[in-house]
Structure 1
Amino acid sequence: MENFWDLKIKEIKGSFKEDKNYEEWKKTILEPWNKKTGYKDKSRTNSSSMPVKELYTRGDLPDNIDSILGNPGEYPFTRGVYPNMYRGRNWTMRMFSGFGTPDDTNKRLKYLIENGETGLSIAFDMPTLYGFDCDNKRAEGEVGKCGVNVSSLHDMERIFDGIDLSKVSTSMTINAPAAILTAMYFVLAEEKGIPLEKIAGTVQADILKEYIAQKEWMYPPEAHLRLIRDMLTYSTEHVPKWNYISVSGYHIREAGSSAVQELAFTLADGFYYIEMGMNAGLNVDDFAPRMSFFFNSSINFFEEIAKFRAARRIWATVLKEKYHAKNPRSMELKFHTQTSGYTLTWQQPLNNIVRTTIEAMAAVLGGTQSLHTNSYDEAWALPTDNAVKVALRTQQIIAEETGIADVIDPLGGSYYLERLTCEMEIEAYKYFSEIEKMGGILDAVKSGYIQKEIADTSYKKQLKIENEDDIIVGVNRYVDKDEKPINTLKITDIAENGQINSLKNIKSKRDESKVAESLEKLKNAMEDESVNLMPYIMDCVRNYCTLEEISNIGRDIFGEWKEPKIY
């Protein structure tokens, strides 16, 4: 019996007809020309190994093109989730920030706000991402190196010192300990006298992609998914402007996936979270509007634009037809985009400015709601102030000087783009069907299927680069023999020592009896599956329990997890 996904594939494929005019042109015009000029054409594919023809025509459009396109702001949202898109308001320029101590990051955030940034985005260091305090032996040498260090509520207070949380939207890229960092942000708002219903932002919290790609987890999948469920239900009831999860394809792409794999695996994760909320007793329209997504924008220009448009159409279609959402807002796929990290090269780093510009334009033409542009020096280290400013100015030039934002979905109707969008839909539905046959995305992850698909793609990509089938300017062609290092941002041990001393100071001042009491209550709550853990975590945070102390309660109860072997 055909499943939902197979029926959608059949539906899309059935909308295409043979283009006799194209075949006639190819036979009577193109082939004689190639023969006359001696040109020997070779087949070409994009990053998803999809064949790319030399010409696309009206015949490449599906018969139902008008209905699957729709208009901006209406189902199926192919052309954008808002009726006026950037004519009404530009995308949020949300530069990824965070390094060293909380005080260092506070200065960088204020610098970006002064230079026109319209949304804050916080990166955390490796100890924080794994739920360890700065004084843990496993944190040695890593404190503040790839993001800001947070070991307690005091660090969060320092990050946002002098910043009005009611006037900014904050995104936090944190997953395994997402519930703890979210609790810190909520408690910080309370300290500042800001009602929770007035704070806005997003926490990534997408633990499935951690097992798939980024490999930063604390507990087995089921335990983390419970925490996401608790954030989902708590935020739905108490923090209506907070996006409790940002389903992330970015790291899936950085791990080596193709554009189609990023599209398929990200949306499959999103569908799982939808089912999780419904299984928790929530109506899909009560929580789906607060889900957001996070995509990568890579260098294959049209493929990326098609990916974004296909994502919107798939999400709207599945939410309506499979999960029976009624509210159009539930069907609107809203997403943040970051330009590609894996396309940045340490060779000839100024070339990265061009790459980032192309990728940013693809994101905007694809209809993103917010955008981070990578800095040209990030293949070397965390970005300097000057590099960050160039990256931000890249967005501002696109918004203010190019005219791209003047027209809603300016590439809509392009023969090539529309056909590519449909082809990406088909390939994504094929993955959804395969995942369902395996028992769902969680089983597909636990078996290693998703991870192996990405690893195989990454390996094939690397072979193409080494064989010069794929050209990387400055790497395997147009190489400079005398490459010189550039000036980079350096995080010294001063940051680590400062954080350790700060943590000691906080521990010396807190009420240890309240710490023990709140941790014991959290332990008891974790042992009862029916209890929402967010109030208990927030109570621990108020009493200045540390990140690691809270995380360790879960480690004791839930245990650890090792990923499967895929080869």
Structure 2
Amino acid sequence: MYDDKELERIRTGKENWEKTTLGKALSRFPERKPVFTSISGMPVERLYTPLDTADLDYEKDLGYPGQYPFTRGVQPTMYRGRFWTMRQYAGFGNARESNARYRYLLEQGQTGLSVAFDLPTQAGYDSDHPLSMGEVGKVGVAIDSLDDMKILFDGIPLDKVTTSMTINAPATVLLAMYLAIAEEQGVSFDKVGGTVQNDILKEIICRGQYIFPPKPSMRLTVDLIDYCFKNVPRWNTISISGYHIREAGSTAAQEMAFTIANGIAYVKACVDRGLAVDSFAPRLSFFFNAFTNVLEEVAKFRAGRRVWARILKERFGASNPRSMMMRYHVQTGGVTLTAQQPLNNIVRVALQAYAAALGGCQSLHTNSFDEALCLPTQEAVTVALRTQQIVAEESGATDTIDPLAGSYFVEAMTDKIEAEIEEYIQKIDAMGGTLAAIEQGYIQKEIQDSAYRFQKEIESGERVYVGINKYTMEEPEPTNLLKVDMKVGEIEAAKLKKLRAERDQTRWKAALDKLREVSLSDENVMPAVIDAVKARATIGEICDVWRDVFGEYRPKEFV
């Protein structure tokens, strides 16, 4: 963007500034610390100039919104056309309580639903299973059967809203229930829109809510993708998630790199199944975190879009521009929230939401300020939603596209993160791909090392965390916390007992027998799962068929 003569002039000018103006200032007012780094530990220079973007090729590296390589956004008008989908993640207790929260959020201006399931549901256990004791409805809604799903979406027309479901190992079961509800509402599958997370590799890497071994888990993932491509065309069949990778302690570049590596594995699995890349890739979506360091987060999103577009085009031969678009949902950083001085979290979340908007997200959830203490209260979730609305309507971030483009710092940081992403992907490729890298413990170890570095910085005071290691104060015990009634487990168990007594036993048994038969073959399991949930088979019963057929995953221990 600058010729050699101009760059040399700038270099000379910078050297003169350092010797004169800067030198005098430093002699009187030394800088706060010898080295500045981002949250991820990436060095941050004192000043950025055109020297740091000398190799930038505008057409090749940036281009235009809605065009390859999508660095500046995946839509030609971005938020000048419409805002991102405001999708607050919610669910607690039983289906009736969660339905009331969804209706409230929709009335307050939320534009999409996002379902949080409790841990037993995520692990494929019914609410009356011994391992579910004490966990039913605690961190999400308990969904055992189609009956629960009907209550969860009671009065919510599925052709009028889009729904995101954070579910992985039993994703096929929950989507089958959702489709069965749509059918009962008279909504054709081609009008059903939303996303299912369906990202089992991330669970194995860092989150732990896996059930089956990697190979059959990947089979279930691809079955869902294949079925929706043919039958539910508006459904985003997987949300390849870096959010939990970041929550586990990764850097921004690692979050993006390992997520893209997982994406490569999923695309390859689909191609190996015989699916044409341009047939399914347009419905792939991603899910990322947003931390408080706004500029690093913006650079991360821009770099990720560029790398993904290049991989789909060059590695997999995609020709449809939509296949190359990295469309993603963002959730603000849950792990950044503090129980100390919880109102500070409102500011953190606002900065993180601002980063997501500047970075070009398609969908956003803002965390509630009390989430380090409890499930969100209605007051806190309202503030969280209003935070999105203020960023969208008042901040000015949505008035122009990719507003930080051309910033010497942001462009230099984008290039650095891109280079780090590519280096990680090359290492993973050399190991034989993502599954091999997971099996060797490489990805897990990289995340653990990053988390350890960050924790040491907090404990030493090298990195300030307001209210934690600086600006601390005595605080009263928190009040007005949301608590889930522990009786919800007993209530759900009673409902299950009634369900099992009243359902058509012949139909139920035939449906599970058919599911077992299909699961032992190469046939797509989705139609059999839909029939099973319609026969009122529970999530635990369906997953027990697969536990018997596929076995359960037990990860290796790495030193």
Query: How does the TM-score come out when normalised to structure 2?
Result: 0.96
CA–CA distance in structure 2, aligned partners of residues 141 and 36 of structure 1: 61
CA–CA distance in structure 2, aligned partners of residues 464 and 30 of structure 1: 32
Structure 1 residue 22: Cα displacement: 6.5
CA–CA distance in structure 1, aligned partners of residues 167 and 161 of structure 2: 18
User: 1:493 aligns to what SS in structure 2?
Assistant: coil
Report the counterpart of residue 29 of structure 1 in structure 2.
20
AA at the equivalent of 2:41 = S
User: 1:524 aligns to what SS in structure 2?
Assistant: helix
Query: 1:346, 1:379 within 8 Å by CA — same for their partners in 2?
Result: yes
Report the counterpart of residue 443 of structure 1 in structure 2.
436
User: Per the alignment, do residues 178 and 33 of structure 1 end up closer, same or farther by CA in structure 2, a change over 3 Å counting?
Assistant: same
User: 1:406 aligns to what SS in structure 2?
Assistant: coil
Write the mapping of 1:51-450 to structure 2, written as runs, cut at 5 A.
Answer: 51-67=43-59, 68-450=61-443
Report the counterpart of residue 519 of structure 1 in structure 2.
512
User: Per the alignment, do residues 399 and 482 of structure 1 end up closer, same or farther by CA in structure 2, a change over 3 Å counting?
Assistant: closer
CA–CA distance in structure 2, aligned partners of residues 388 and 436 of structure 1: 42
2:535 is aligned with 1:535: no
CA–CA distance in structure 2, aligned partners of residues 38 and 354 of structure 1: 29
Report the counterpart of residue 7 of structure 1 in structure 2.
none
Structure 1 residue 66: Cα displacement: 0.7
**RMSD after superposition:** 1.3
Report the counterpart of residue 548 of structure 1 in structure 2.
540
Report the counterpart of residue 4 of structure 2 in structure 1.
none
User: Per the alignment, do residues 131 and 25 of structure 1 end up closer, same or farther by CA in structure 2, a change over 3 Å counting?
Assistant: farther
Structure 1 residue 23: Cα displacement: 5.1
User: Per the alignment, do residues 109 and 139 of structure 1 end up closer, same or farther by CA in structure 2, a change over 3 Å counting?
Assistant: same
AA at the equivalent of 1:191 = E
Query: 1:448, 1:563 within 8 Å by CA — same for their partners in 2?
Result: no
Structure 1 residue 27: Cα displacement: 3.9
Deviations 1:113-149 (A, max 9, x none): 0000000000000100000000001111111000000
Aligned length in residues: 550
Query: 1:449, 1:566 within 8 Å by CA — same for their partners in 2?
Result: no
Structure 1 residue 38: Cα displacement: 5.1
User: Per the alignment, do residues 385 and 20 of structure 1 end up closer, same or farther by CA in structure 2, a change over 3 Å counting?
Assistant: same
User: Per the alignment, do residues 22 and 69 of structure 1 end up closer, same or farther by CA in structure 2, a change over 3 Å counting?
Assistant: farther
AA at the equivalent of 2:20 = I
AA at the equivalent of 2:55 = D
Write the mapping of 1:3-22 to structure 2, written as runs, cut at 5 A.
Answer: 20-21=11-12
Give the alignment partner of residue 496 of structure 1, picking from 472, 484, 489: 489
Write the mapping of 1:458-473 to structure 2, written as runs, cut at 5 A.
Answer: 458-473=451-466
Deviations 1:68-94 (A, max 9, x none): 110111111111100110000001100
Give the alignment partner of residue 562 of structure 1, picking from 549, 554, 559: 554
User: Per the alignment, do residues 485 and 516 of structure 1 end up closer, same or farther by CA in structure 2, a change over 3 Å counting?
Assistant: same
User: 1:560 aligns to what SS in structure 2?
Assistant: coil
2:55 is aligned with 1:43: no
Report the counterpart of residue 4 of structure 1 in structure 2.
none
Structure 1 residue 290: Cα displacement: 0.0
CA–CA distance in structure 2, aligned partners of residues 497 and 465 of structure 1: 42
Query: 1:176, 1:205 within 8 Å by CA — same for their partners in 2?
Result: yes
User: Per the alignment, do residues 158 and 214 of structure 1 end up closer, same or farther by CA in structure 2, a change over 3 Å counting?
Assistant: same
CA–CA distance in structure 2, aligned partners of residues 177 and 160 of structure 1: 19
CA–CA distance in structure 2, aligned partners of residues 289 and 21 of structure 1: 48
CA–CA distance in structure 2, aligned partners of residues 483 and 435 of structure 1: 49
Query: 2:341, 2:475 within 8 Å by CA — same for their partners in 1?
Result: no
CA–CA distance in structure 1, aligned partners of residues 75 and 17 of structure 2: 40
CA–CA distance in structure 2, aligned partners of residues 62 and 289 of structure 1: 34
Deviations 1:420-462 (A, max 9, x none): 0000000011100110111100011122111111111111111
Structure 1 residue 26: Cα displacement: 5.4
Query: How does the TM-score come out when normalised to structure 1?
Result: 0.95
User: Per the alignment, do residues 525 and 394 of structure 1 end up closer, same or farther by CA in structure 2, a change over 3 Å counting?
Assistant: same
User: Per the alignment, do residues 62 and 242 of structure 1 end up closer, same or farther by CA in structure 2, a change over 3 Å counting?
Assistant: farther
CA–CA distance in structure 2, aligned partners of residues 411 and 81 of structure 1: 16
CA–CA distance in structure 1, aligned partners of residues 310 and 11 of structure 2: 31
User: 1:296 aligns to what SS in structure 2?
Assistant: strand
Structure 1 residue 484: Cα displacement: 2.4
User: 2:335 aligns to what SS in structure 1?
Assistant: coil
Deviations 1:461-486 (A, max 9, x none): 11110000111101111111234223
User: 2:70 aligns to what SS in structure 1?
Assistant: coil
CA–CA distance in structure 2, aligned partners of residues 205 and 555 of structure 1: 18
User: Per the alignment, do residues 235 and 35 of structure 1 end up closer, same or farther by CA in structure 2, a change over 3 Å counting?
Assistant: closer
AA at the equivalent of 2:81 = G
Query: 1:347, 1:483 within 8 Å by CA — same for their partners in 2?
Result: no
CA–CA distance in structure 1, aligned partners of residues 402 and 462 of structure 2: 33
Seq. identity, %: 50
Unaligned runs of 5+ in 2: 1-6
Query: 2:62, 2:69 within 8 Å by CA — same for their partners in 1?
Result: yes
Structure 1 residue 166: Cα displacement: 0.3
User: Per the alignment, do residues 487 and 329 of structure 1 end up closer, same or farther by CA in structure 2, a change over 3 Å counting?
Assistant: same
Please say which of residues 230-239 and 504-513 is displaced more in the overlay.
504-513
User: Per the alignment, do residues 59 and 556 of structure 1 end up closer, same or farther by CA in structure 2, a change over 3 Å counting?
Assistant: same
Please say which of residues 147-156 and 37-46 is displaced more in the overlay.
37-46
CA–CA distance in structure 2, aligned partners of residues 36 and 209 of structure 1: 50
Unaligned runs of 5+ in 1: 1-16
